[in-house]
């Protein structure tokens, strides 16, 4: 549906309404700790649960022929946050400003996100299973398209301040208590340790906190677990893992 102001003379003044085609279930229960780019954590899987008015079998017919997908979604927790025309990208240490359109900021004029994920197909519940997700749990999905390698991958593209993937910043270690608890939950979530390590070694703290010693205790929610850690001598040291529900 398209809405126009009464004095609008072109689509420049138009607004558009979209409805979600479903939501995605992911391990990430809060924004803090979510990888800043999709595919940086291959073990992070998600389930796209389609709306009742969509027939997944019909709508996804032929999708198995494609290994990767584009997912369009809404930054639904940023709807009230507004946006600014300049932002401070984490890759620049949080100190240098660029225009919002030269960034991957989640605070945008229109809160639309785009991610590439690996296609693992429909499960027995007709939910679409995808891997390499960087989305908050219950994010509304507005579209799915196949990733086309010859069209979507540009080998000679220049990428400004993000020319190369970020290096692994920190090592990860566990207290004896955290290791015992981790081992107990691996039967339920076999990839939990790899997923947590991928998150923590990329240092999810704000860019201005990029120091190798930090007395603050941080916390991230992953699945139904609250992971607490500190930075000690360039090591993300997991103190405890608590079941929340």
Q: Name the residue with higher pLDDT: 4 or 67.
A: 67
Whole-prediction pTM: 0.84
Helix (H, G, I), strand (E, B) or coil at 244: coil
Say which residue the tokens 């946050």 belong to. 81
pLDDT category at 8 given cuts 50, 70, 90 is very low
pLDDT, the chain, mean: 86
pLDDT category at 208 given cuts 50, 70, 90 is low
CATH domain 2-152 topology: Elongation Factor Tu (Ef-tu); domain 3 (2.40.30)
Structure tokens belonging to residue 143: 């579209």
- The three-state (H, E, C) secondary structure of 170-213, written as one string: CEEEECHHHHHHHHHHCCCCCCHHHHHHHHHHCCCCCHHHCCCC
Q: Is pLDDT of 90 > 60?
A: yes
Which CATH number does the domain 171-243 belong to among 3.30.2310.10, 3.30.200.20, 3.90.380.10, 3.40.50.800?
A: 3.30.2310.10
Helix (H, G, I), strand (E, B) or coil at 7: coil
The total of other beta-carbon atoms located within 10 Å of residue 136's CB is 19
């Amino acid at each position: 549906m398209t809405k126009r102001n009464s004095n609008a003379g072109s689509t420049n003044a138009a607004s558009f309404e979209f409805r979600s085609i479903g939501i995605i279930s992911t391990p990430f229960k809060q924004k803090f700790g979510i990888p800043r780019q999709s595919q940086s954590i291959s073990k992070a899987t998600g389930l796209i649960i389609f709306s009742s008015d969509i027939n997944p079998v019909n709508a996804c017919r032929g999708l198995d022929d494609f290994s990767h997908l584009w997912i369009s979604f809404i930054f639904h927790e940023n709807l009230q946050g507004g946006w600014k025309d300049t932002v401070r990208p984490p890759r620049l240490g949080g100190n240098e400003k660029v225009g919002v359109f030269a960034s991957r900021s989640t605070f945008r004029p229109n809160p639309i996100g785009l991610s590439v994920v690996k296609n693992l197909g429909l499960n027995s519940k007709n939910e679409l299973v995808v891997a390499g997700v960087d989305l908050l749990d219950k994010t509304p999905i507005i579209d799915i398209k196949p990733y086309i390698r010859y069209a979507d991958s540009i080998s000679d593209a220049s990428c400004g301040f993000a020319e190369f993937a970020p290096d692994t910043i920190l090592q990860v270690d566990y207290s004896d208590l955290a290791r015992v608890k981790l081992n107990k939950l691996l039967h339920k979530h076999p990839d939990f340790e790899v997923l947590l390590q991928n998150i923590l070694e990329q240092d999810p703290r704000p860019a201005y906190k990029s120091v190798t010693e930090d007395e603050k205790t941080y916390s991230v929610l992953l699945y139904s677990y609250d992971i607490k850690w500190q930075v000690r001598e360039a090591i993300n040291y997991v103190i405890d893992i608590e079941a929340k529900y």
